[in-house]
Amino acid sequence: MAEKRIGKVVKSNNHCDYVVELDDRLAVKDPPTVEDYAFGTFVKLESEQRHWAVGVIYNTQLFNPSFLNTGPRLSSDPSPFFAPDLQSEMRTLLGVVLLGSLESSSGQTYGIQGIPRVVVPIHTLVYRMSEEEIYQFHQDRLSRTQFAYYGLLLNYGGVFAPHVLRQILDQVSPMFYGQQRRALEILSRELAWKLTLGAMNP
Amino acid sequence: MSSWNGHGEKNPLAATVIGTVKGPGETANRYIFITSAPEAVKAGEFVTYLGGEGQPVLGKIIQIELLDHLPDRIFADVEIDPRAVAALIGFSEPNPEIYGVTVEIVGYFHPALGFVNPRQAPRPGAKVFLAEDELLRAVLNRKAADSQGAARLGDLLLRPTVPVVLDVKELVSTHLAILAGTGSGKSYTAGVLIEELLLPKNRAAVLIFDPHGEYGTLAEMQAHPAFRGEDGYSPKVQVITPDQIKIRISSLNFYDILTLLPDMTDRQKSFLEKAFSRTVQGSSYRWTIRDLIETVNDLDSSQDGSQGSSAAALEWKLEQLERSPYFSNHEHLAPKDLFAPGQVTILQMNEISQEEQQVIAAAILRQANHARMNTHKGKIQEHEENYLPFPVFILVEEAHRFAPAHEESRCKKVLRTILSEGRKFGLGVGLITQRPGKLDSDILSQCMSQFLMRIVNPIDQENLRHSVEAAGRDLLQELPALTKGQVIVSGVCINTPVLCKVRPRLTKHGGDTLDILGIWHQHFQPHHRHEQRLKQATPTPRRDPELVDGVGID
């Protein structure tokens, strides 16, 4: 899957919780499709100079200033040609939590998981990560599977954190084999219990 | 660190550190330490920390609790190591679990006072050491293993290098109790104790009431090289078989006789009591059953001289008693026959009925008590039968029969007297029972040294909890989990309660369970089968007489 730009950083809530504004058809020629910015999608924050961080979409929000603005209008539908600014006021915002970064040395790319040290600047571009990159991110320098952002995501991933995690596990598990895959499935089962039966008797 | 209470210069920092103190525990004399290496932490193990003045404060591990642990679901998959899952989510420490270990403080050792509780919890962060063998050897036992008055029962269960040495003086003068379920090795332990008492360093005077005939194998001591002293000492083992037991009638009291006789009416009892007191008071010599029968007849006879009905019944019953092989008018087992230093006398009472056992034991105990008391006070001279110029120790097997909890028995009163007063005259008693719940709790609480072995019965355990406080609750909880030959020793014979593995016996053990399967199999061995067939075979029928000319020749 090709590298797909999906938006840019417009704000942050804290050091690892960023708000990304989704590109629309007025901003880019080829705007992202709904699959590109789905809940639980891995993204990388990169500018032309460098790679900043890897994150995951843990929340989305639709922003619409004209909501409840039901004043009298002459025409039933606003014309995009005569009022383009108003049209582009409508936004989709993506909540992205940073989980680490990708590192390359001697031809090998691997993930460094945990809160990144650097501060990602405003307007940094956000790309959807390829399957290959996701796989690389879940391997450490010695090519061992890692899932060390589990605790980080569970604590800072907002109200849907366990659900994001579960979705990620479902997405990531098939990339691995044998013991590593089994270990990931155990984590997935633990979460499944918490979300379903565990929720019945808190 | 200067010294360890006079036990020699020692740097305790060289000892193994097994954890770090977290703080005080639930009660004032407990503390909790934290460790992530559970290998060295065993329940019952002795540990130390350095007290305020640098002295090691001994404590015992009583509980181990897992504080931080991996989530349960990680353990659910048997094919994957939980640590691999932990490492996957970023936790790669080699020992992920944290244990909180509760320690009961025993105290620091003072040569004169024994263990002194520091009444102060260790400082959080203090290091906890595994108590060194050398320290344990010096502070747990009151005596060195080979010194006079020492009895080496065995070794610490968790430290086979540390012997458990008991103080014989305390052991035999303040009484002991061996409490253990069936098959847990109580007579084995008693055998080891007897062996220790008879070693050249101790040379005790011991009597064993042996209702099952289990102690006969102790006779091997006489020829065993380990028991031979440098001065030519070797222990004497006197086995008195049931047919050798003779108790003189005149040494019995009224209630003894009442116990021996079958059921009696109130009228008969009253006649017997009157007759008894008249016979005993009226005679300056040793009275016999015949004297008693004559007095009964005198009391219950009508004016024409004919015998009353009660007298007739009593006469018949007393004559039965006269015929008993164990009670005699003249023959008697006197203290001098039963006791001598360096001698163990085994009174085998198998084959004897329970009532007779009671009376025999009561008579012997009472007589030994009087003998010791009067000899001690100087009331008896050397030539007299009851002269007993040395302390003695009496071991009672199946003690719950002789001192039952909720019923009267002949022995109980005598035992109670001996247990409360015997110490002053040097008369010690050891009680062995497999049913502590059935043993009189007053009597049990008078035994100042206790040997507790595996007990599963909950009633017995409950009874022990009330009567054997010295062992401590934590050790009593271990009772059902002990295995054969493991014993909790507590009381005055040792400085602090310990879990001990009884040493192997020098002589053969006599109380083994019957080899049932062996005997069954033996039945089918070829030569046995042949013998059986021979026994069962019908005799060959007589041959018919031959006929010669039609006439049979027989």
Size of interface A-B (CB pairs under 8 A): 43
Which residue among A148, A182, A189 places its CB closest to the CB of B90? Answer: A148
Measured between beta carbons, the chain B residues lying within 8 angstroms of A193 are: 73
Which residue among B71, B76, B85 places its CB closest to the CB of A183? Answer: B85
Round to whole Å and give the CA distance between B280 and B256.
14
A146 and B76: CB-CB below 8 Å? Answer: no
Measured between beta carbons, the chain A residues lying within 8 angstroms of B90 are: 113-114, 146-151
| ipTM at complex level | 0.74
B89 and A147: CB-CB below 8 Å? Answer: yes
Measured between beta carbons, the chain A residues lying within 8 angstroms of B73 are: 186, 189-190, 193
Residue B346: CB atoms within 10 A of its CB come to: 25
B80 and A150: CB-CB below 8 Å? Answer: no
Position B3 scores a pLDDT of 39
Measured between beta carbons, the chain B residues lying within 8 angstroms of A145 are: 88
Average pLDDT, chain B: 85
Please tell me the distance in Å from A183's CA to the nearest CA on chain B.
5
Measured between beta carbons, the chain B residues lying within 8 angstroms of A148 are: 88-90
Measured between beta carbons, the chain B residues lying within 8 angstroms of A149 are: 90
Q: Is B85 part of the contact surface with chain A (CB cutoff 8 Å)?
A: yes
Q: Is B71 part of the contact surface with chain A (CB cutoff 8 Å)?
A: yes
Which residue among A150, A186, A193 places its CB closest to the CB of B74? Answer: A186
* Three-state secondary-structure class, residue B87: helix
B73 and A190: CB-CB below 8 Å? Answer: yes
In the 3-class helix/strand/coil scheme, how is B236-259 assigned residue by residue?
EEEEECHHHCCEEHHHCCHHHHHH
The backbone torsions φ and ψ at residue A47, rounded to the nearest 5 degrees and listed phi first, read -115, 180
Position A78 scores a pLDDT of 62
Q: pTM, whole model, 2 decimals?
A: 0.74
What DSSP element (H or E) covers B279? helix B266-282
Measured distance between the N- and C-terminal CA atoms of chain A, rounded to whole angstroms? 41
Torsion sign across C-alpha atoms B14, B18, B23, B27: negative
Preferred mutation among A165, A186, A190 to probe B, highest tally of B CBs within 10 A: A186
Position A71 scores a pLDDT of 66
Round to whole Å and give the CA distance between B486 and B382.
44
Q: Is B77 part of the contact surface with chain A (CB cutoff 8 Å)?
A: yes
Position A88 scores a pLDDT of 61
Nearest C-alpha neighbor of B314 from the set B363, B251, B260 = B260
The answer to whether A176 and A144 are in contact (CB under 8 A) is: no
Residues of chain A with pLDDT under 50: 1
Tell me the pLDDT tens digit for each residue of B70-95: 777 778 778 888 888 888 887 777 77
Round to whole Å and give the CA distance between B189 and B172.
15
Residues whose CB falls within 8 Å of the CB of residue A148, separated by 6 or more in sequence, listed in order: A113, A114, B88, B89, B90
Q: Is B1 part of the contact surface with chain A (CB cutoff 8 Å)?
A: no
Please tell me the distance in Å from A25's CA to the nearest CA on chain B.
40
A150 and B74: CB-CB below 8 Å? Answer: no
Residues whose CB falls within 8 Å of the CB of residue B553, separated by 6 or more in sequence, listed in order: B545, B546, B547
pLDDT along chain B (554 residues), means of 10: 42 72 90 88 90 88 86 80 81 81 91 86 91 89 86 92 92 90 86 92 92 87 89 91 87 82 84 86 78 84 71 85 84 87 92 86 89 89 86 92 86 90 91 89 88 87 77 77 89 88 87 78 83 82 78 72
Tokens of B214: 């289990």
Q: Which residue in the block uniquely carries the two structure tokens 């598990």? A: A173
A148 and B73: CB-CB below 8 Å? Answer: no
B89 and A187: CB-CB below 8 Å? Answer: yes
Nearest C-alpha neighbor of B207 from the set B40, B54, B336, B105 = B336
Q: Give helix B289-299 / helix B266-282 axis angle, nearest 10°.
A: 120
The answer to whether B355 and B259 are in contact (CB under 8 A) is: yes
Position B181 scores a pLDDT of 84
With CA atoms as reference, the chain A residue closest to B90 would be: A148
The backbone torsions φ and ψ at residue A124, rounded to the nearest 5 degrees and listed phi first, read -65, 140
| Range 68-127 of A in CB contact (< 8 A) with B | 113-114
Position B176 scores a pLDDT of 92
Which residue among B74, B79, B90 places its CB closest to the CB of A150? Answer: B90
